[in-house]
């Protein structure tokens, strides 16, 4: 069973074999998922996925120890326009970088991040954090420290081409989200499920774009069906069994290459400080124009 860092003591942490210990960071947004589902559904999903992943790693390689970090409610791009708590991209990135560097001082060098949101800027921020801690500021050589964006290996090219800069989910608060909630939070009251009989269907791409820019996305949309938590649990277990061998291979020394990097991170608008760079460039252009006009008048 995976350890939780909040339950460890200082001496317990020092007893771990640094070269055989991997820390897992669950992160996810706080946002509305219909009228009855918990706001932290995606965060619970990330936490549950992290536990399953830790189990698969330790099951396949008992010499490894997985340590779960506290779940952090950091979401960058919300799906719902009704209620959400968001953070700026560099906040998520800085949290991961600082936490990993703090653990690195104790000799640990292997880290994973599991996200409850697969939005472009969310995954890009995690990948940027991985790049930041694996590159020494005083050398062009790669550091042995590793932070993998676990969910980046799920992103297919077709999804990136269809929605390169914003989350484009086929459902929200409907069949899949209800099934997920029943799987990861079984103690909640789900008496409302039987009353869910008519929800807006998956809107067209154009409708989603109009709703996004007018901030009038419906509270709930997607397919209707009988929620099945057992199916969701089986899907999560299958996901962990599929992803774990890829992670273990990297932990054992195989270069990650592009396995845990999505093409989202190649697109500048998804970068954490993209807006800051745009403003800096704009200010530099204005300042340069002012200097040129001033000296032109002086010299003339």
pLDDT tens figures, 197-208: 555 555 566 666
Q: What's the N-to-C CA distance of the chain in angstroms?
A: 78
Q: pLDDT value at position 48?
A: 97
Average pLDDT for the chain: 88
- Which H helix or E strand runs over 30? strand 30-31
Q: pLDDT value at position 168?
A: 81
| Mean pLDDT (whole number) for 286-295 | 84
pLDDT for 50 beyond 70 = yes
Q: pLDDT value at position 209?
A: 63
pLDDT for 122 beyond 80 = yes
| Mean pLDDT (whole number) for 33-54 | 94
Q: Which domains does the chain have, with CATH numbers?
A: 3-165+237-285 (3.40.50)
Token pair for 250: 């990297």
Q: How many CB atoms lie within 10 A of CB 27?
A: 28
Distant-in-sequence, close-in-space partners of 179: CB < 8 Å, separation ≥ 6: 227, 228, 229, 231, 232
CA 57 from centre of chain: 20
| Mean pLDDT (whole number) for 82-110 | 95
CB-CB contact of 35 with 219 (8 Å)? yes
pTM of the model: 0.89
Q: pLDDT value at position 173?
A: 86
Token pair for 95: 């949290």
Which range has the top average pLDDT, 2-11, 76-85, 151-160, 279-288? 2-11
Residue 65 forms beta bridges with which residues? Answer: 21
Q: pLDDT value at position 125?
A: 97
Q: pLDDT value at position 195?
A: 63
pLDDT for 183 beyond 80 = yes
């Amino acid at each position: 069973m995976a350890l939780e860092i909040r339950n460890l003591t200082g001496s317990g942490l020092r007893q771990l074999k640094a070269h055989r210990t991997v820390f897992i960071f669950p992160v996810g947004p706080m946002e509305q998922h219909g009228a009855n589902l918990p706001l932290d559904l995606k965060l619970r999903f990330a936490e549950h996925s992290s536990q399953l992943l830790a189990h698969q790693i330790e099951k396949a390689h008992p010499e490894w120890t997985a340590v779960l970090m506290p779940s952090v409610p950091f979401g960058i791009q919300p799906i719902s326009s009704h209620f959400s708590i968001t953070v700026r991209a560099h906040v998520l990135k800085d949290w991961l970088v600082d936490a990993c560097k703090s653990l690195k001082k104790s000799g640990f060098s292997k880290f994973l991040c599991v996200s409850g949101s697969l939005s472009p800027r969310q995954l890009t921020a995690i990948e940027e954090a991985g790049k930041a801690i694996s590159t020494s500021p005083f050398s062009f050589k790669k550091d042995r420290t590793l932070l993998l964006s676990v969910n980046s290996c799920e992103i297919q090219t077709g999804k990136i081409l269809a929605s390169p800069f914003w989350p484009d989910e086929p459902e929200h608060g409907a069949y899949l989200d209800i099934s997920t909630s029943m799987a990861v939070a079984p103690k909640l009251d789900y008496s409302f499920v039987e009353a869910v009989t008519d929800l807006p269907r998956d809107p067209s791409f154009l409708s989603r774009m109009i709703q996004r820019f007018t901030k009038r996305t419906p509270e709930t949309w997607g397919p209707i069906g009988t929620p099945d938590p057992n199916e969701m649990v089986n899907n999560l277990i299958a996901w962990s069994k599929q992803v774990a061998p890829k992670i273990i291979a990297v932990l054992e020394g195989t270069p990650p290459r592009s396995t845990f990097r999505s093409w989202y991170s190649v697109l500048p608008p998804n970068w954490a400080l993209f807006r800051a760079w745009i403003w800096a460039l704009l200010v530099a252009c204005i300042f340069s124009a002012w200097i040129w006009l001033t000296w032109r008048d002086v010299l003339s």
